[in-house]
Amino acid sequence: MKKGLLLLGLVLITIPCAAKSFKALYSDEIISAELAVDDNDWVVLTIKNNSASPIQLLADKSYYSNVADAMNTLLVPISDQYNPGLKVVPIPIPSGRTIVQKFAAPAYISYKKGKIDDIDNWTPRNKKKITTALFDFEYEIDGKVVHFSFEGNKFS
């Protein structure tokens, strides 16, 4: 019994120490957004529509770039509705609403029976690697497309 409790205590202490989270903020007159890189498998975009009009997050215009090795990688929203080969559609965000959406690099997603089975590690894993990262997104409002990004040196 004592060994079990000791082991559980060590696991609980080890888990928080192993996880490293990086977050960056973006805002303009239309949106407030945060990108969190706190998992090796995906990134999490939280975006709030501060305008009186609905917006569309253009999910097919989401990219990860690594400046250090000049690699550009398409990002796709993680959803049970997305499967390889399907068109990525815009994500509507009504006025005043906030959405939270996970994104991953499609080459690292494996499927089983039409559902996501596994996502392999691909995100920056330490402070040195996050500084060379660039995450690009776009949204549309009233027919106007706005580009926004999260630069690695802005992550904390």
- Residue 91, token pair as written in the block: 């994500």
Question: How many distinct structural domains can be found in the chain?
Answer: 1
Q: What angle do CA 132, 130, 14 make, to 5 degrees?
A: 160
Q: Does some domain include residue 11? A: no
The 8-class DSSP code of residue 11 comes to H
Distance CA 119, CA 108 (A): 5
pLDDT value for 82 = 64
Q: Does some domain include residue 56? A: yes
Looking up residue 84, the CATH number of its domain turns out to be 2.60.40
Q: Does some domain include residue 1? A: no
Q: Does some domain include residue 9? A: no
Q: Which domain holds residue 80?
A: 20-154
Prediction pTM value? 0.83
Q: Could you report the average pLDDT of every consecutive run of 10 residues in the chain (156 residues)?
A: 47 46 96 94 97 97 87 87 76 98 91 84 89 96 98 90
pLDDT value for 60 = 93
Half-sphere exposure of 133 (CA within 13 A, CB side): 26
Least Cα distance to 93 among 136, 139, 61 occurs for: 139
Q: Does some domain include residue 8? A: no
Residue type for position 79: S
pLDDT value for 81 = 65
Q: Does some domain include residue 133? A: yes
pLDDT value for 6 = 45
Q: Does some domain include residue 82? A: yes
Least Cα distance to 65 among 130, 147, 118, 127 occurs for: 130
